Amino acid sequence: MTPRNDIAIYSPFAFSFYEDPEGEAFREAKGGGGAELQTTLLAHILAADGLRVAHIVYPVERMAPQRPPAPKVVQRPPRAPRRDLLGKLGETLGVWRALARADARLYVFRTGLSGGIAAFAVGALFSLVRRRRLVLAASNDLDFIFDRADRSSLTKALYRLALARTSRIVVQSEQQLQLARAAVRSSERVGLIPSFAEPAEQGPAADPEAFLWVGRLVDYKLPLRYVELARALPEASFVMVAPETGETTAALRDRLAAAAADAPNLDLRSQLPRTATLELIERSIAVVGTSLHEGMPNVFLEAWARGVPVISLHFDPDGRIGGEKMGICADGSWDRFVEAARSLREDRALREELGANGRGYVIRVHSPAAVGERWIELLRAELGG
């Protein structure tokens, strides 16, 4: 039988982008972040191009009205709370059934070694058994770094097998491109498509209020370094939005809570609705990153789209922060990191210059039209025209 859909995108936490804004689940800010936003934008752009698209997500409590053309929302079962063998078998069955209900010629997974490995492995087996095509959209450099103590040998072996099943791997940066090509020992299967960034009508606030850190609460993002920055600049205000995930350890959560309690100029929040987070970005002096590894951080794109500069302690995707003059990367230097924050707080002209550069870069490179066209071309080629 001919599959009902052309493309299915597996991104379960993207359910929040289909929630009615008036519903309780939307107000409680449960759901996805940058990676899930990317899949939602992709699903709608592909549907607008005439492709039959299914978006596989966790259950939506109260569906927002969908304006056609729109993707079909396929709701998979909630993740089983138990983590024993029966729970893992139940999760495997839930992923398999969702993929079968989506019934597509091609499946896109926005996941990798940085998270969601089990679902990707199930997707690889499903695509093999059903003879469907499989595309990986990488979200982090860590998807292609295998010398990691936080992943078991079995996990990495399963991931390598799933990678081998992909017909295409899409990355976000030149650095990821090199890492991916080395990981799969192929250049033909790996391509680069920048991340989406929606245009923003609202620019930065005339009198910004605080620095802002937004990210999942995981070790490699080094959230405690942001608390140290707040202590280093007691005259400034800092806001931190750090939602917990399945990879958040109790030790990290407790250390962050204790450290934040000793920083009176730091406002620590666990999670916020997307609209509230965007308002914080608009009112921020700069968006701050402390992570060792990323892809193209969605929060950076959101900041640049609003004319807000960024400060990064370690990570600079393809040297764009410095090369495009959209912020300051300290290249691991703590003194430069603190001085960058102090400079941007005190120098309004510098903030405006770096912010304006960021807005121009996003429009030029990351607009939905430009990025969407590249995805459409790639996936239509994978489907055979």
Q: What is the CATH number of the domain that holds 245?
A: 3.40.50.2000
Q: Which domain holds residue 238?
A: 210-365
- pLDDT tens digit sequence for 21-34: 776 655 455 556 78
Do the domain assignments include residue 205?
no
Per-residue pLDDT band for 35 (boundaries 50, 70, 90) equals confident
* In a shared domain, residues 215 and 126: no
Per-residue pLDDT band for 171 (boundaries 50, 70, 90) equals very high
Do the domain assignments include residue 203?
no
How confident is the model at residue 24, as a pLDDT?
60
* In a shared domain, residues 243 and 375: no
Residue 129 pLDDT exceeds 80: yes
Q: Per the structure block, which two tokens stand in for 87? A: 């729970």
Do the domain assignments include residue 118?
yes
Do the domain assignments include residue 119?
yes
Instruction: State the total domains in the chain.
Output: 2
Nearest CA to 39 among 23, 51, 57? 57
How confident is the model at residue 236, as a pLDDT?
97
Least confidently predicted of 132-141, 234-243, 335-344:
132-141
Do the domain assignments include residue 251?
yes
pTM of the shown model: 0.87
* In a shared domain, residues 40 and 183: yes
How confident is the model at residue 321, as a pLDDT?
96
* In a shared domain, residues 143 and 167: yes
How confident is the model at residue 31, as a pLDDT?
59
